[in-house]
């Protein structure tokens, strides 16, 4: 009797990573680190070796790269949140732009938290794919 391992799909995490980086494009220039397209470009460049290493079975490389991508998005989001909060009393942006930016950061926060949870919960997708050991 052989146990067939069912792989957990990876595409939802890739889409969430792209979406979190894409939401960053909605931020006005004073609330983003560098050009707004830079985060998305870095994440796309990281996703290429992530997909290749995952397909080739180099799961340690994949894990390190996905954690790096999550960390980069998290740092960018925290920096933008700090810029948003410090910019409120300075009136750097119009109220509607601040509200849109806060909403974009909130959506990015949900996506980033979901990515961290997916990556770390129960040891990550690789450990969740392993069949449970029977105790005898």
State pLDDT tens for residues 33-80.
888 899 999 999 999 999 999 889 888 898 899 999 999 999 999 999
Report the predicted TM-score, pTM, of the whole model to 2 decimal places.
0.81
Three-state DSSP at 5 gives coil
Question: Residue with structure tokens 């509607």?
Answer: 96
Rounded to an integer, what distance in angstroms lies between the CA atom of residue 26 and that of residue 101?
7
Q: Which pLDDT value is given to residue 24?
A: 85
Given a contact cutoff of 8 angstroms between Cβ atoms, the answer to whether 18 and 44 are in contact is: yes
> Are 107 and 30 in contact, with CB atoms under 8 Å apart?
no
**pLDDT score, position 120:** 80
Mean pLDDT lowest for which of 14-28, 62-76, 117-131? 117-131
Residue 123 DSSP class: G
């Amino acid at each position: 009797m052989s146990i067939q391992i069912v792989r957990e799909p990876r595409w939802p995490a890739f889409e969430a990573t792209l979406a979190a980086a894409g939401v960053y494009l909605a931020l006005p220039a004073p609330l983003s680190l560098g050009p707004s397209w830079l985060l998305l470009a870095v994440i796309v460049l990281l996703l290429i070796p992530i997909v290749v290493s995952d397909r080739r079975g180099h799961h340690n490389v994949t894990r390190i790269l996905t954690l790096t991508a999550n960390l980069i998005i998290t740092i960018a989001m925290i920096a933008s949140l700090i810029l948003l909060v410090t910019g409120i009393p300075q009136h750097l942006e119009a109220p509607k732009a601040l509200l849109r930016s806060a909403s974009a950061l909130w959506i990015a926060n949900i996506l980033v938290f979901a990515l961290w949870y997916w990556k770390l919960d129960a040891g990550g997708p690789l450990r969740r794919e392993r069949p449970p050991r029977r105790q005898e």
